[in-house]
Structure 1
């Protein structure tokens, strides 16, 4: 492998913080000026008569997201809750003239694609004819590895921060996720995506100021279904949420929305979270949205010692990552999300970051007042978390849909489940149906 610069190491070392992977699991804070309203039994006139602003009209699922005072909402209905706000590097490249996926300069770092035999998968399907929504912090549509994939016309900014869609305005997390799904494997640069011919729809729910409102996420799911996305990837979540308190209302609203999307043909692939928690035995707690109805919840796996000598700590690519959530009936599939030798994290002596997932990144450049984006810097970098595992499955789902265009969301999920296997010697609670196998899925 090519030698990495000091700058490269510093940019990737922030991918893991405090012994837990950054990215998927976040905390939730109630909003006092914004609410999710159950509009069942209310007429449009009832909703429009209220002394508040309708931010998202989700009449397809009998919900609305409104902004105003709680007292004014209460005059229209008592079936509402405060919206919740979720809070959640450039390596040296090898000069090459690639003619196939295995010749892309960054492929040598992509243990995840190597483990899934992605170049061989591409001989059968490249995800052509499919559409994948990335519900996240924004996708850099101008990135050299993504510019051919992102449908700017269908992309939406749900945050209201004024920066629009098709850019990494809420951070580079969404760009990294999108690259895992659909990075161009024929542009003689960068990395390989699982389904490089799939179309990407950027549904940005994280604002430039940080945070993603639960109501915006619901709106993004509805939009994904309405524009005909075959898959929606949600590498986000909140845990723990009490089932008895906010979890009751939000669980009902989320289930309604996710069921609507699934019925419309949109498979919802969701990261399971990075708390190292047993979701099956955590009392009256719930993890959202991965424990919502119709969610295909994905745990994370990864190697220890990819391209370096990890000694006794060495582990294969399908080993459960130290941070991943798990639990019987809580996990549907496992996929590569990156791993690490916890004792080596931050060390200058070993390239522990090679065990993370390598993909596209982008960073907005602001003017002197830090108010206007004047440019975007594109590159590649490492991250880890179930955030990176979910898009591996979303990409695999696009491949299956491409091979069988008439398959509905449940049939696509079923094929992924039937072709996955739990590795010998590992606990099923980390895998659900097993470790995702795109090659077996497109061959069946």
Structure 2
């Protein structure tokens, strides 16, 4: 075993990283609730337009909010507003750097390295499934999305037929055509700059089944890049809202948001809607605990105490954006988060993580956008102990728990509509896992065999500002990647269906999901093909969560999986038979 150990995770000779989710408050940018009703208790769009503020995104007609930049002292007394929050990507729990992974030659799209696709029998999904559906990736950019910039396309995400482009410049009428956009104001146009996270999500959802590399759940679906993470730093909440609105707006309509190649003046532009059927948001705030009144207590990491008003405002913003998307026929999907926290479960409840329990605090953690009403919130599952047999005969075996076990890091929890109006986890999907013990044999790991507990997907290396990006693949894990698996399933249903509503797509996903016990009895190291490593030969009694000691007592499976673990073939079977 390699002697490299970061964050308690052992791995082969590679560069593992554990990223954190943080939240920063802007000093000069605000999200304001606006209402043109003269009897409303807040300001009108006319008042904000006539003020000293610079309008960044005018979302007043679509969701009733406007993003402005300026001095807080200019704000009208009756305005309801919050400082814009800058958040980080709901980053992978652990990730093997792409430069440590050699690009395989002629890899079968349904390779054994894609266990998340194999457990969904993805080989039975037609290569053109999802055709006609668009998935908007609200993230750090998708490789190949900028038209004419010389950046190479990824072989599994071909430009034009898979990844739809945007130029970053308006047409002769001053309208930005998209459908891919950059909302950050960093002046670089669509497409990623350095961070492959959005490309990883895109490949997980919809990489082409083209005889090379990997394949996504919806191999025929189109990808739209809705970039909200700038070249440096985190994403502003206002930009995320703008991306959702533009992404959901139909292709024959326009919206006024700030996009473009050079946006120093931060002026809203007339932007044509991207017409997405699905929006994937693999991002989120850290777990927030609403405190009704009085001083804010200091809470154990990763919890952050915030005023109840702030929770209500953020929940209202994201709910309004989700409701707008739904009204335009678009289904928004969000990752539940990687903090291992019981969302919607009071800190006084013994179902909460033991180290976070506090008998004096009845408030429950929430996170946005996952907890906002209208989103499909996705938790992660993953195997523990996949690998090659030690004798080198090529036998692939499972040493411990199956693929649908809740991942240690995944947030979990039940609905608490009195706080957030949404649900903690609606469904689960493969997101990857990691094991602090042996993955397979020491010999196999030191020989460089892949870590099958992690998801394998599209990626790249390089910095677009200093040269071209180099397409690649990576191993990764997180709810960031369980969410696009569900987004891919949603795209399949849009592609197969006769103009289905997002509510119908959501119902099919949830009703076809399978609810399974947690820590199933009989899942031992000897229960699968091959000869397992003795170090992982342990018995699970069926009464314990997959991370024993994390939660006292047994949680109801619905606390982990909501409506259950997705079943792609069960969801699309009527269409395949037809």
Aligned ranges for residues 38-437 of structure 1 at < 5 Å?
A: 38-41=33-36, 42-59=43-60, 60-72=62-74, 74-75=75-76, 77-88=78-89, 89-90=98-99, 91-96=101-106, 103-104=108-109, 107-122=111-126, 126-141=129-144, 142-147=153-158, 148-152=161-165, 153-165=178-190, 167-169=191-193, 171-186=195-210, 188-226=211-249, 227-243=274-290, 244-282=308-346, 283-308=363-388, 314-329=400-415, 330-343=424-437, 350=445, 353-365=451-463, 372-425=465-518, 427-437=557-567
Q: Is the 8 A contact 2:344 2:364 kept in 1?
A: no
Q: Is the 8 A contact 1:61 1:260 kept in 2?
A: yes
- With a CA cutoff of 8 Å and minimum separation of 6, indicate the structure with the bigger relative contact order: 1
Whole-angstrom distance in 1 between the partners of 2:22 and 2:189: 25
| Secondary structure of the structure 2 residue equivalent to 1:193 | coil
RMSD of equivalent CA atoms: 2.4
Q: Any idea what the Cα deviations from partners look like across 1:2-30, whole Å, max 9, x if unmatched?
A: xxxxxx9555633xx2xxxx4xx722111
Q: Is the 8 A contact 1:301 1:317 kept in 2?
A: yes
Return the offset for 1:348: 7.5
- Gapped regions of structure 2 (runs ≥ 5): 1-10, 37-42, 90-97, 145-152, 166-177, 250-273, 291-307, 347-362, 391-396, 416-423, 520-556
Aligned residues: 413
Higher helix share: 1
Whole-angstrom distance in 2 between the partners of 1:140 and 1:247: 34
Q: 1:359 to 1:436 in 2, by over 3 A?
A: same
Match of residue 5 from structure 1: none
Q: Is the 8 A contact 2:381 2:430 kept in 1?
A: yes
Q: 1:303 to 1:363 in 2, by over 3 A?
A: same
Return the offset for 1:76: 7.1
Return the offset for 1:33: 0.9
Whole-angstrom distance in 2 between the partners of 1:71 and 1:323: 42
Q: 1:365 to 1:303 in 2, by over 3 A?
A: same
Whole-angstrom distance in 2 between the partners of 1:381 and 1:312: 21
Q: Any idea what the Cα deviations from partners look like across 1:23-44, whole Å, max 9, x if unmatched?
A: xx72211101100011113444
| Secondary structure of the structure 2 residue equivalent to 1:200 | strand
Q: Any idea what the Cα deviations from partners look like across 1:381-420, whole Å, max 9, x if unmatched?
A: 0110000100000000001111113211110010011111
- Gapped regions of structure 1 (runs ≥ 5): 1-7, 367-371
Whole-angstrom distance in 2 between the partners of 1:348 and 1:33: 54
Q: 1:170 to 1:78 in 2, by over 3 A?
A: farther
Whole-angstrom distance in 1 between the partners of 2:248 and 2:570: 27
Bigger Rg, which one: 2
| Secondary structure of the structure 2 residue equivalent to 1:286 | coil
| Secondary structure of the structure 2 residue equivalent to 1:51 | coil
Return the offset for 1:309: 6.1
Q: Which is worse superposed, 278-287 or 87-96?
A: 87-96
TM-score, scaled to structure 2: 0.68
Q: 1:233 to 1:170 in 2, by over 3 A?
A: farther
Return the offset for 1:245: 4.2
Q: Any idea what the Cα deviations from partners look like across 1:178-232, whole Å, max 9, x if unmatched?
A: 001111111x321111111111110111111110111111111111110321110
Return the offset for 1:252: 1.2
Return the offset for 1:285: 3.0
| Secondary structure of the structure 2 residue equivalent to 1:84 | strand
Q: Is the 8 A contact 1:344 1:352 kept in 2?
A: no
